[in-house]
Amino acid sequence: MVYIPRLNDSKGADQKSTVSAPEEVKLRFGYDQKRHVFEEYKIKRNMFMGDILMSYGVDFDDIIRLEDIAEDVFSLRRIAAGKHITFVKDDICANPKAFIYQPNRIEYIRYTIQDEIQVDRGKLPTETCIESASGTIVNTLSESMLLEGLDLELIDNMEDALAQVSFFTSQPGDQYKVVYENIYVDGKPADTGKILSASYKSGKNEYFGFYYENEKYQGYYDYSGTPNKKTFLRAPVRASRVSSGFNPNRFHPVLKRRRPHLGTDYAAPRGTPIMAVANGVVTHRSYTRGNGNYVKIKHDNVYQTQYLHMSKFAAGIRPGTRVKQGQVIGFVGSTGLATGPHVCFRFWKNGRQINHRRENFPPLNPMEESELPAFYEHRDSNMEDLARISYPAPYVAYASVSE
């Protein structure tokens, strides 16, 4: 309640009356929560959105128009089984005026199906907090970060922040620190933002990554201001493991005989995005009995790469397509001669297949001298943040002793 003096009251200005303050309107997906009913509906396997909408009283012609309009925003065919949609009604008995689909925890797609049919995107209100974490490697970086309760996306981002570190060769006892953005919706973690700074300690070596951005520069740089990103990514998939390395004398698990394995296998769940490891032009998008679905890319007159056993190709990937480093070109599968979902990654240098994990790729162009003082000031501030984070107790391997 607020109090306002009644200046025109004959009993004097000392007497006060009470008036109600305007009540705050709480919105959900852009609708007043007190004036609408929100009904959850779970999409089951083999369900069609057209059938669901007709069961809610939406006219067939309106569904056709909605499908057509949605193509430019978020197609109805992309609404996944197992996910929920939310119908918005004026009251419990009314036909829905709209339904909402959330492709992730922050974005939502609003399909208006009464009055004027339209489709638009929105975002839930968020709050960004700066948080930190640290850990000690037991087997792999991803496993250790998961044990600390950290999000998979943060694990992926560590590979960008510390691109000079080969996490596939992590050793027990290696340690990491990270300062990052955590994004909340209604007080609950919803997404991971940028890593602001990170360090990785292995033996006597310590590596750093600092996010730095201005009008000319954007990305992760090491302690001296050198870009952490190399001309080639170390692997075409994130949060994966090497299931079979480059081996000229490997025993083939399908053919049951010794056959050179002139590539590196990265095991990852089916459907994991496969990325181009550097800028280039697609030369092959094809299928063979051994390779399954595969893509081959020419990067320059020296280097070419190939990605095998894809479940499917990314949209727009075909011979002649120019791709950028980190662009998704396909998805992990087990097509061709494969025992499980993985990508066999092959690397050519001057026409000969090599073990890319032993190749020392040059970094991108260094930062200009005139920019370094500003970067050093930014770096030192972030170093203070990292210094405030304690490492957990180091990993100790205990041997079992038999009596």
> Using CA atoms, how far apart are residues 46 and 48, in angstroms rounded to an integer?
7
> What does the pLDDT look like over 263-313, one tens digit per residue?
889 888 888 899 999 999 999 999 999 899 999 999 999 999 999 999 999
Q: Which two tokens stand for residue 337?
A: 């001669």
**pLDDT for the residue numbered 134:** 94
Residue 54, CB-side half-sphere exposure with 13 Å CA sphere = 9
Q: What is the DSSP letter of 184?
A: E
Task: Average the pLDDT over 228-243 and give the result.
Answer: 77
Q: Write out pLDDT tens, residues 383-396.
A: 999 999 998 765 45
Place of tokens 């292995």: 202
- pLDDT higher than 80, residue 255: no
Q: What pairing do the DSSP bridges indicate for beta strands 328-332 and 303-313?
A: antiparallel
Q: Which two tokens stand for residue 96?
A: 């829905």
231 conformational bin, left if phi > 0, alpha if psi -120 to 50, beta if neither: alpha
Asked if 17 and 7 touch (Cβ cutoff 8 Å), the reply is: no
* Averaged pLDDT of the chain: 85
At 248 the pLDDT is 55
Q: Look at residues 236, 324, 329 and name the one whose alpha carbon lies nearest to residue 280.
A: 324
Q: What is the pLDDT of residue 249?
A: 54
Q: What is the DSSP letter of 383?
A: H
Buried residues in 263-288 as b, exposed as e (16+ CB within 10 A): bbbbbbeeebbbbbbbbbebeebeee
Q: 92 falls in which pLDDT band (50, 70, 90)?
A: very high
| pLDDT value of position 364 | 73
The pLDDT assigned to 43 comes to: 93
> Rounded distance, CA 213 to CA 220, Å?
9
What's residue 19's pLDDT?
55
**The one-letter amino acid at 150:** L
pTM recorded for the entire structure: 0.67
Scanning 88-247, the segments in alpha helix (DSSP H) are 141-147, 152-161
Residue 99: closest CA among 28, 45, 163: 28
β-strand partners of 331: 273, 312
H/E/C letters for each residue in 11-46?
CCCCCEEEECCCCCCCEECCEECCCCEEEEEECCCC
Instruction: Please give the pLDDT value at position 367.
Output: 87
| Dihedral sign (CA 201, 203, 204, 207) | negative
pLDDT exceeds cutoff 70 at 14:
no
Q: What is the pLDDT of residue 284?
A: 96
Nearest partner of 180 among 201, 158, 162, judged by Cα: 158
How many contiguous H segments (helices) and E segments (strands) does the chain have?
5, 24
pLDDT at res. 15: 45
Q: Which of 329, 289, 294 is nearest to 309 (CA)?
A: 294
pLDDT in tens, 75-84: 998 898 899 9
Least confident of 37-46, 147-156, 182-191, 357-366: 357-366
Rounded to whole angstroms, the Cα distance separating 269 from 315 reads 20
Residue 12: its pLDDT value, please?
A: 42
